[in-house]
Amino acid sequence: MQLGDLEGLMVRRRAGLGLGDFLAVPMIAPLRWPDDVVEQWLYDHGDNGSFQRDYGHIDLAGILWSLEAVTAAELSEMPTGASDDGCIEEYAADPDHWVAVRQFGIHEGVARHWAELGTWKRPPVLLDRRLVTPAGTGLQVVEGRTRVGVLRGRRRQGSLVAAQHQAWVGRPRP
pLDDT band at 91 (very low <50, low <70, confident <90, very high): very high
Return the exposure string of 31-54: e unless at least 16 CB atoms fall within 10 Å of the residue's CB, then b. bebbeebbbbbbbebbbbeebbeb
Phi, psi of 72 (to 5 degrees): -60, -35
Instruction: Please state, for a pLDDT cut of 70, what percent of the chain lies above it.
Output: 98
Give the mean pLDDT of the chain. Answer: 94
State the pTM of this model. Answer: 0.95
> If DSSP codes are grouped into helix, strand and coil, which group holds residue 125?
strand
SS (H, E, C) 128-166: ECCCCCCCCCCEEEEECHHHHHHHHHHHHHCCCCCCEEE
